[in-house]
Chains A and B, each alone.
Chain A
Amino acid sequence: EVQLLESGGGLVQPGGSLRLSCAASEFTFSTYEMNWVRQAPGKGLEWVSYISASDGTIYYADSMKGRFTISRDNAKNSLYLQMNSLRAEDTAIYYCARDLGGWAGFDYWGQGTLVTVSS
């Protein structure tokens, strides 16, 4: 069965950095577009970033541009999110999600990793 496993979350001070990882298994990772989506405690879903399967196309939500960097390593079946200049409002569970493309939605999600930005 398709699996997505996020890691790298934790407590970080305002202004700090963190790198999230998402390990994919049981599907051909290199052929799927991927996304990061976050959810602040008790709040709704917020899309963060998109990366294409292989041609390097990348999109970000406006509030993340310039601070977050999405990347992937298809040889390692892994997705990443480098987060810099973190703010208290970035506190959230961060999910990686497989994009069906087409556009048919995000069909598989990881269980998420919690990022807490606090002094």
Chain B
Amino acid sequence: EIVLTQSPGTLSLSPGERATLSCRASQSVSSSFLVWYQQRPGQAPRLLIYGASRRATGIPDRFNGSGSGTDFTLTISRLEPEDFAVYYCQQYTTSPPMYTFGQGTKLEIK
């Protein structure tokens, strides 16, 4: 079973700064099957990035995903107030068929 480890657990930044969030897999993951979500307090998760680097519909271009193999990154270029939330990575494996989430990174206002 692949384990996704996100770091840091909490990231404290100010609006306008750049955020870099990491998602590391315990074994190689197909880039096609790596996804990022944002979850604001009291809300359901929101799809941000799929295929490691493709923005979902309606997602601003300040959100960028990158990486391959075991190391993936979500970068938010200039933080807006609404970006302070919890971010999760997720991967899908075919054998056995299952979906796994990372434990999340909380992005908080400094």
- Interface of A with B (CB < 8 Å)? 35, 37, 44-47, 50, 59, 61-62, 95, 97, 100, 102-107, 109-112
Contact = CB atoms under 8 A, between A and B. Distances in A.
A47 B99 contact: yes
Contact of B98 (A61, A100, A109): A61
A59 B32 CA distance: 20
Given A61-B98, A107-B56, A45 B51 contact: no
Interface string B32-65: 1101010100011111001100101100000000
A45 B37 CA distance: 10
Nearest to A47: B99
B44 A112 contact: yes
Size band of the interface chain B makes with A: 20 to 34
Interface stretch (B15-23, B75-83, B100-108): B100-108
A103 B97 contact: no
B51 A47 contact: no
A110 B44 contact: yes
B44 A47 contact: no
